């Protein structure tokens, strides 16, 4: 069973949701989490106050701050730097908007416990319930189409590449040159691509799809073009040279 589990929370304008995300973490997972870290990525709402309230309830929560918004990828980099410096053996990225189920943390950890994975992605598509969970049809179709393109380009067989529910072993954090990667939402995709290039083991764990009116900061059109750019750069050998 892996120890030194860190939960890493990127938070941008998440004042209305982040406390509930922490409340949903099951006791089974809390007993295993050594530290939480949340980065307030230049939020303009009351995210800072919400994180301070959480720190009073979770003494092992470290609050990191970006004075201005630096983007999703840069928020993850700040969290990974912290996890690496503080001795994390596994870092779980848990979004602050509630769209990724904290209740699934024990299942996310299971492949690490078995020594079967260096990276785990919580996948909405592998369980077959994405549409039942409220994923808009256009997002479902786009996800399927992009995933087919990516699997063919990368020579992989992932159920999807577009979930942000990611978990990294220390080996993955130390092996992947993530400081060189995107500061935007395609950061997670680049992490998966480089894990594949570096020969790391990737596992997918089914997670529920949750759409309940949360505000997403992802522009789907821009993200789609960013994904295709990653595919193009992969074919040109960018990631193999890293």
Cβ contact 231:147 at 8 Å: no
What pLDDT, in 10s, does the model give residues 51-80?
999 999 999 999 999 999 999 999 999 999
pLDDT band at 149 (very low <50, low <70, confident <90, very high): very high
pLDDT attached to residue 216: 62
| pLDDT > 80? residue 101 | yes
Helices marked H in the chain — which ranges? 18-23, 27-30, 47-57, 72-85, 105-113, 137-154, 170-175, 187-197, 220-235
| Domain over 5-241 is classified CATH 3.90.550.10 | yes
Q: How far apart are CA 118 and CA 124, in angstroms?
A: 20
Please identify which residue in the block is written with the tokens 């083991």.
201
Residues 6+ apart with CB under 8 A from 52: 63
């Amino acid at each position: 069973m892996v120890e030194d589990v860190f939960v890493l929370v990127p938070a941008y304008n998440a004042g209305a949701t982040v406390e509930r995300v922490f409340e949903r973490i099951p006791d089974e997972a809390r007993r295993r989490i050594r530290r939480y870290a949340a980065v307030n990525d230049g939020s303009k709402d009351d995210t800072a106050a919400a994180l301070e309230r959480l720190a009073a309830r979770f003494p092992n929560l470290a609050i990191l701050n970006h004075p201005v918004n630096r983007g999703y990828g840069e928020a993850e980099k700040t969290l990974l730097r912290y996890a690496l410096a503080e001795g994390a053996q596994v870092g779980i990225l848990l979004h602050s908007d509630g769209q990724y189920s904290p209740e699934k943390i024990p299942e996310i950890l299971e492949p690490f416990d078995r020594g079967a994975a260096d990276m785990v992605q919580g996948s909405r598509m592998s369980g077959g319930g994405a549409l039942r969970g409220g994923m808009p049809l256009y997002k479902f179709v786009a996800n399927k189409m992009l995933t087919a393109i990516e699997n063919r380009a990368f020579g992989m067989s992932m159920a999807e590449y577009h979930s942000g529910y990611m978990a990294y072993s220390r080996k993955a954090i130390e092996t992947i040159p993530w400081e060189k990667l995107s500061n935007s939402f395609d950061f997670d995709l680049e992490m998966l691509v480089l894990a594949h290039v570096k020969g790391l083991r990737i596992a997918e764990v089914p997670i529920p799809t949750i759409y309940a009116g949360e505000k997403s900061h992802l522009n789907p059109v821009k993200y789609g073009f960013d994904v295709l750019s990653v595919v193009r750069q992969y074919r040109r050998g960018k990631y193999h040279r890293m």
